[in-house]
Amino acid sequence: MTELTASILKTAAATDATCGCADPIPVQRAARKGAAVTICQRCGLRVPLRLR
Ligand SMILES: [Zn+2]
């Protein structure tokens, strides 16, 4: 995991905010306890799954 990715994941885990990008780049990353989160690589916030 690169430092950039770690930083993005930390940001995503620290807030309940979700991505508001018009054209998000969803990337799936492993979170705690084997769970996975989908985050936007543009802004580092969670991507609401309902948008997919
Ligand atoms: Zn975004």
Q: How far is the CA of 28 from the centre of ligand 1 (A)?
A: 13
Where is pLDDT greater, at 14 or 26?
26
Check residue 1 and give its pLDDT.
Answer: 59
Beta strands in 1-52 (DSSP E): 26-30, 36-40
> Is residue 46 classed exposed, middle or buried when 0-12, 13-18 and 19+ CB atoms within 10 A define those classes?
buried
Q: How far is the CA of 14 from the centre of ligand 1 (A)?
A: 15
pTM more than 0.95: no
Helix, strand, coil percent content, the chain, rounded in steps of 5: 35, 25, 40
- Domains of the chain, by residue range, sit at 3-51
Q: How far is the CA of 46 from the centre of ligand 1 (A)?
A: 8
Structure tokens that stand for 52 in this block: 């997919």
Residue 44 in 3-state DSSP? Answer: coil
> Above 60 in pLDDT, residue 17?
yes
Check residue 13 and give its pLDDT.
Answer: 64
Provide the sign of the torsion angle of the four alpha carbons 49, 52, 43, 30, taken in this order. positive
- Interval 18-52: pLDDT, tens: 899 999 999 988 877 888 888 899 998 888 765 44
